[in-house]
Amino acid sequence: MAPNPHIKKACNAMKILGIQQAKVRPVLRKLRKTYDDNWDFIEDDNYSVLIEAILAPDDVQAIESKKEEKKETEDVAMNREKKKAREQAQLAVKDQEDDIEEDEAPLKRRFRGKRERGCDNNTSLSSTSKTPNKEDPKPQEEDEDGETTELPPLKRYFRRTGERGSATTVHNKASPSFSSAMSVEPKERPPVILLPAAPVVAENDSYAGALIIVDDEPFTDHKPMIPENCSARALEMRKSNMYVKKRDGETDVTHTLNDSTSKTASGMVKAGGESGAPAISNELVVVPESEISAHGWRAFSNTKDITVGTENIEIPWVNEVNGEVPSRFRYISQSVAFRDAAVKSSVSSFSDDLCCFSCIGDCLVSSATPCSCTIAYRVDGVLTEDFLEARISEARDQRKHDFHFCRECPLEKAKNEETLEPCKGHIKRKAIKECWITCGCDKICGNRLVQKGIHNKLEVFCTPNGKGWGLRTLERLPQGAFVCEYIGEILTIPELYQRSMKGESICPVMLDALWGSDESLEDNQSLCLDGTRYGNISRFLNHRCLDANLIEIPVHVETPDQHYYHLAFFTTRVIEAMEELTWDYGVDFNDEDCLMKPFDCVCGSRFCRNIKRSKKAKKVMNRA
C-alpha cells in the first residue's frame, strides 16, 4: 500500500523539532481516531495538536476540547501548555544543535543549493543537485528513512553563544529557553531578521507571513513589507509570525514574542493579538537583515504571489516538502540589458516589410490582405499543429538538426584560450514574428501572444524528488499553448563568462539561433539571458531530457535586429492540472566545458541522457 503522505509530512514536521518518528506514529494513530482521520485538524497551526499530544499523550481528548475553545476565541494567544510544548521542542532542537559543526554563515546556507535537503535548491543552473544513482533514472522516491542522516533545517539556522559567523540576537522573553539558545551578544549587533520557514498565507492581502526584526535601521525602510492598508485578517494570520524590534527614540524598545503589543513607534503595525500574546513560530530562521532587500523580503514572504504583482496574474509558491523558501531573486516580467548588450528597439528601425503595415483589426481573422507577420498562431491562441510539430521534431530529432557554424564562435572566444577552438555549431531555429505597434492591426490581434504575458494559472512548488523548486500548472493546458517567456538579464557572452569566472551562479540561455549566419558578430551582439539575479518564473522550470512538455521557440517582437529575440515556452502536448512543467535545457552531460554547473539528472525520462546505457539501448533510443 502506498504510504500515507499526511503521515510522512507530519513525521517530517516533527523531525524538524527533533521528535523521532517512533514517538510520532502512535500519537498520530490516536489523533486520527479522535478526529476521524480529519487531517485538517491535525495539520492545523503547524501540527500544534500533534505536538501537544506527543508531549502529553494521554490528553488527546482534552486537546480536542482545547482546540475547540481556541477556535471560538480565535485571537486568544496560545495557552501555556502549548507554549511549553513548543519551548520543549525548541529545547530539544537546541540540545541536538551541539553536534552541528557551524562553519558558514546561515544566510549562505539558505541561499546556497542544498538539494540534498529538498527545496533549498538555488535556482541557478550552476548548482549541484543531489547525486542519484546514475544507473537508475527514476526520480528519487520520498523515503522517510532515507532522510535520517540529514540535519533538520531548523537546527541549521540556529546559532549559539560563542559561535562563529555573523552574530545575531533574538530576544525572546516569552520563551527563555529559546531565547538563551539563540542569544549571542556581540560587541556590535548587526540587524537580524527572522524568517518564518513556512510563511502564512493571508487571504485578501498581498503581504503574508513575514516576520521582521528591525535593528538600528529606520523602520520606514521596511514599510513596503507591511502595507498600511493591511487587513485585520492578515494581521491576525500573521500574528504568530511577526515580531518587530524598533529603536524608539533613545530607548531601544524590543517588542518580543511575549509583548502584549508589538507596535512600531509610528503605531503602524500591531502584531499582537487582542489577548496580547503573539504565538511563537516554531520554524524560524535567523538571517542577517543586511543581506535582504525589501524586494527580496516580498519575494520570500508572499506565498500568494511570487511575481510581487508584476504579472497579469498571481503566481503562488508552495512547499509541501520541507520548510525551505525560494532563493532570493528579483522578479521581473521583461528582460533587461545588464550593461553592454546591444539591444535596439526603435520604431524607426522597422521598415514596411518587417511589419504588416496595411493590416486592420485582427490579423488572424481578417482575410482581406494576407498578413506578412503571421505564421504560427491559430485563432484560438495556440500554435498551429504543423508549426509546433516541425519545431518539436527539429529539437528532438538530431538527424533533422540544421546547424550554423560561426567563423569565430563567441563561446570559444570568451574562453580566452591561446588557440581558438572551432565552433561546435548552433541549431538553426525558426522564429515566430509577432505583430507590434508598427503594424496596422489592433492590440487585440491574435498575432500578439507572447508580448501579452502569462495568462495561465501556474504555481511554483518544491519538488519531492531532489530537483529543488519547480513550476507546475494548476489548470489543463492545450497543446501548443504559450506558457511563459524566459526572462532575465540580457548579457553579452563575455559578460556571462566574467560572471562564471568569478564563481557566480549563472542560469544562462543562449540566444544563438542566428549565430554563424552572420559573418561579423560583435561581442555586444552575442547575447544570452541569465535569470539568476533578475528573472521570472521560468527560472524554476526544471530540465527533462528529450520528451519535456515545453519547448522553447524564438519570438521576434520589438527588435528587427535578429541578435536579440524573446524565448517563449509552448506546450508540446496537452498538460494536465498539477503536472510539472519541464523543458530540455539541451545540456550535454558529458561536456566538461559546459558553463552550467553539472547536476545529476533525475528527470525520470526514459530518454535521460545522464544515464550510462549499453550500446544496444542507445541504438534503440536513437531509433525512437
Ligand X SMILES: C[S@@+](CC[C@H](N)C(=O)[O-])C[C@H]1O[C@@H](n2cnc3c(N)ncnc32)[C@H](O)[C@@H]1O
| By the rule CB under 6 A, 507 interacts with ligand X | yes
* Contacts with ligand X, 112-141, as mask; x by CB under 6 A: ---------xxx-x-x-x------------
| By the rule CB under 6 A, 302 interacts with ligand X | no
Select from 161-169, 249-257, 425-433, 539-547 the region that touches ligand X (CB under 6 A): 539-547
Write down the least CB distance from residue 328 to ligand X, Å: 11
Amino acid at 181: A
| By the rule CB under 6 A, 167 interacts with ligand X | no
* Residue number closest to ligand X, CB atom: 468
Instruction: State the pairing for strand pair 580-583/542-543.
Output: parallel
**C-alpha neighbours within 13 Å on the C-beta side of residue 433:** 18
**C-alpha neighbours within 13 Å on the C-beta side of residue 279:** 29
Identify the sign of the CA torsion 93, 94, 99, 100: positive
Write down the least CB distance from residue 605 to ligand X, Å: 8
Write down the least CB distance from residue 333 to ligand X, Å: 17
Write down the least CB distance from residue 545 to ligand X, Å: 8
Grid coordinates representing 437 are 505597434
| By the rule CB under 6 A, 500 interacts with ligand X | no
Write down the least CB distance from residue 507 to ligand X, Å: 5
Q: Distance (Å, rounded) from C-alpha 343 to C-alpha 511?
A: 12
Write down the least CB distance from residue 542 to ligand X, Å: 4
Q: Which residues contact 133 (CB under 8 A, 6 or more apart)?
A: none
Instruction: Tell which one of 300, 602, 609, 611 touches ligand X (CB under 6 A).
Output: 602
| By the rule CB under 6 A, 603 interacts with ligand X | yes
Toward ligand X, which CB reaches closer, 381 or 604? 604
CA–CA distance from 115 to each of 124, 158, 561 (Å)? 12, 20, 40
**b/e per residue 240-264 (b: at least 16 CB within 10 A):** bbbbbbbbeeeeeebbbbbbeebbb
Grid coordinates representing 122 are 538555488
Size of the residue set binding ligand X (CB under 6 A): 19
| By the rule CB under 6 A, 461 interacts with ligand X | no
Select from 266-274, 347-355, 426-434, 598-606 the region that touches ligand X (CB under 6 A): 598-606
What number of other Cβ atoms are within 10 A of residue 339's Cβ? 10
Toward ligand X, which CB reaches closer, 90 or 542? 542
| By the rule CB under 6 A, 543 interacts with ligand X | yes
Instruction: Tell which one of 246, 391, 533, 539 touches ligand X (CB under 6 A).
Output: 539
515, 404 Cβ separation under 8 angstroms: yes
| By the rule CB under 6 A, 374 interacts with ligand X | no
Amino acid at 483: V
542, 470 Cβ separation under 8 angstroms: yes
| By the rule CB under 6 A, 599 interacts with ligand X | yes
Write down the least CB distance from residue 473 to ligand X, Å: 16
What DSSP character marks residue 184?
A: -
Write down the least CB distance from residue 126 to ligand X, Å: 6
**C-alpha neighbours within 13 Å on the C-beta side of residue 450:** 29
Identify the H or E element spanning 395.
helix 385-396
Among residues 323, 427, 270, the alpha carbon closest in space to that of 16 is found at 323
| By the rule CB under 6 A, 542 interacts with ligand X | yes
Positions touching ligand X (CB under 6 A) are: 121-123, 125, 127, 129, 467-470, 507, 539-540, 542-543, 599, 601-603
